């Protein structure tokens, strides 16, 4: 008789776990997974009280509360209170009984030694024989692990989809150099490789009028989604503010105020922005804390770094002085702009390797497009290169002077 009960109990537990696996395999939502988990604990194991703290890569959150008063858990910090919990334990041993009424045991769920969740459970079986938690501990642990890992996978899948969408949206914001096809005064060649799906680098160019263009390259301090969001905001602001009548210094000041407000002083942007007149050959620019671009005169073979400007955008509430650079081109020239992901490339035994390669590569009579291709090859700039630690952006411009 006893053996029959044990066999029946084992079958119930096996069927329960199989049903959970089926729910997980059916691509159920996080809400459905938690509802199923709560129902199984109550219906199959007679566990009435459950609380789940889950880590979402930023914060600890309560994602399930059943049978527990909403005022419970006040002052509980999983990072602090549960940091030494590496295996199943009783709440009483943590000296947290008063803060966690109705809960008796804690089950940590980890992945690669990092805690994903803490599951706290309790029952109202006091004084009525062996606790259902103790009787079913192994099954509850297996069940809990399946659910938490499924929730984590679901969250990661959601993040991947968001990143893919953000990457597609970001690619739509990148201008096409074909807009200058047929213009005998200019040739533009860009290159962009984000370190992650989305990045904090940015380049842009367009006509300001029939006789003038603008171009810029920028880099948000940091990487990933936060940097990409700030850069998208910056790009929209620049597009809205930059009209032919706007002086570069005025534009930079206005952009600075916007970024200070939107980033709460926590991030800044380095920016190089210029405007070029096809008729007068006047090149005006402001370098706001960015890696100085290289201007190379193909006839005189003279190289110049464009450094005039101011501190980075968002570094201070108000920029006290903005020094605008002004050069009138007299010969065929080319400009190579780049972000620090290029010049910070390293090679053992060669100091300033990336910067040296950039400078050496651009100093010839070839079009800037050829220079960029040479740079990509020599520095092995491609997604499969694990030595790349940052976004990589290049913007090359050939200025063609028809004498």
**Beta-carbon contacts of residue 292 (< 8 Å; ≥ 6 apart):** 272, 305, 306, 307
**Residue 190 and residue 107 share a domain:** no
**Alpha-carbon span 275 to 248, nearest angstrom:** 8
Query: How far is it, in rounded angstroms, from Cα 12 to Cα 21?
Result: 14
With a cut of 70, say whether residue 8 has pLDDT above it: no
Query: What's the rounded Cα separation, in Å, for the pair 307 and 309?
Result: 6
- For position 332, which CATH number holds? 3.60.40.10
Q: What is the domain range of residue 223?
A: 174-399
pLDDT value for 150: 81
Please give the Cα distance from 206 to 338 (Å, whole number).
18
| pLDDT tens per residue across span 253-302 | 999 999 998 887 778 999 999 999 999 999 999 999 999 999 999 999 99
Pick from 164, 189, 212: which residue ends a domain?
164
**Residue 384, pLDDT score:** 65
Which of 72, 21, 16 lies closest to 44, judged by CA?
A: 16
Question: Does 123 fall in a domain?
Answer: yes
CATH number at residue 37: 3.30.450.40
Residues 115 and 244 placed together within one structural domain of the fold? no
In this predicted structure, what is the pLDDT of residue 110?
87
DSSP assignment of 79-118 equals: HHHSTT--S-EEGGGGT-TTTSTT--EEEEEEETTEEEEE
The residue ranking higher by pLDDT, 152 or 348, is 152
Based on the fold, state whether residues 33 and 152 are members of the same structural domain.
Answer: yes
Find which of 49-58, 198-207, 299-308 is predicted with most confidence, using mean pLDDT. 299-308
Percentage with pLDDT > 90 across the chain: 34
Higher pLDDT, 166 or 29: 29
Beta strands (DSSP E) in 227-352 are: 269-277, 282-288, 294-297, 302-305, 309-310, 325-328, 333-338
108-132 pLDDT, tens digit each: 988 878 888 998 888 766 555 556 6
| 192 and 221 share one domain | yes
Is a pLDDT exceeding 60 seen at residue 13? Answer: no
169 domain residue, yes or no:
no
Is there a single domain that holds both residue 159 and residue 180? no
More confident residue, 290 or 141: 290
> What's the rounded mean pLDDT across residues 330-348?
85
Comparing 219 with 32, which gets the higher pLDDT?
219
Measured CA to CA, the distance from residue 166 to residue 41 in angstroms comes to: 39
């Amino acid at each position: 008789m006893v053996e029959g009960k044990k066999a029946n109990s084992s079958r119930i537990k096996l069927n329960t776990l199989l049903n959970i696996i089926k729910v997980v395999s059916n691509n159920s939502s996080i809400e459905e997974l938690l509802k199923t988990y709560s129902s199984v604990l109550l219906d199959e194991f007679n566990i009435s009280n459950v609380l789940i703290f889950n880590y979402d890569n930023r914060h600890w959150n309560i994602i399930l509360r059943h049978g527990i008063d909403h005022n419970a858990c006040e002052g509980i910090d999983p990072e602090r209170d549960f940091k030494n919990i590496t295996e199943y334990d009783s709440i009483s041993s943590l000296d947290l009984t008063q803060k966690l009424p109705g809960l008796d045991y804690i089950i940590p769920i980890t992945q690669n030694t990092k805690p994903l969740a803490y599951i706290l459970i309790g029952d109202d079986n006091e004084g009525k024989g062996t606790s259902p938690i103790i009787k079913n501990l192994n099954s509850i642990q297996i069940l809990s692990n399946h659910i938490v890992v499924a929730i984590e996978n679901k969250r990661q899948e959601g993040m991947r989809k968001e990143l893919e969408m953000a990457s597609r949206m970001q690619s739509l914001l990148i201008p096409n150099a074909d807009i200058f096809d047929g213009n005998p005064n200019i040739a533009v060649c860009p290159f962009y490789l984000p370190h992650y799906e989305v990045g904090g680098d940015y380049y842009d160019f367009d006509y300001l009028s029939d006789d003038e263009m603008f171009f810029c390259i920028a880099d948000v301090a940091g990487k990933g989604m936060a940097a990409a969001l700030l850069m998208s905001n910056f790009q929209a602001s620049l597009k809205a503010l930059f009209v032919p009548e706007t002086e570069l210094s005025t534009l930079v000041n206005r952009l600075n105020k916007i970024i200070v407000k939107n980033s709460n002083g926590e991030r800044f942007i380095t920016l190089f922005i210029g405007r070029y007149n096809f008729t007068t050959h006047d090149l005006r620019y402001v370098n706001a804390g960015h890696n100085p671009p290289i201007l190379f005169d193909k006839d005189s073979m003279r190289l110049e770094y464009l450094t005039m400007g101011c501190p980075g955008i968002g570094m201070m509430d108000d920029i006290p002085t903005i020094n605008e650079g002004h050069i009138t081109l007299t010969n065929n020239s080319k400009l190579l702009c780049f972000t620090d992901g290029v010049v910070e490339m390293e090679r053992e035994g060669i100091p300033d390797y990336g910067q040296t390669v950039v400078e050496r590569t651009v100093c010839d009579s070839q079009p800037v497009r050829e220079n960029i291709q040479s740079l990509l090859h020599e520095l092995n700039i491609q997604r499969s290169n694990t030595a790349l630690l940052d976004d990589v952006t290049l913007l090359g411009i050939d200025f063609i002077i028809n004498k």
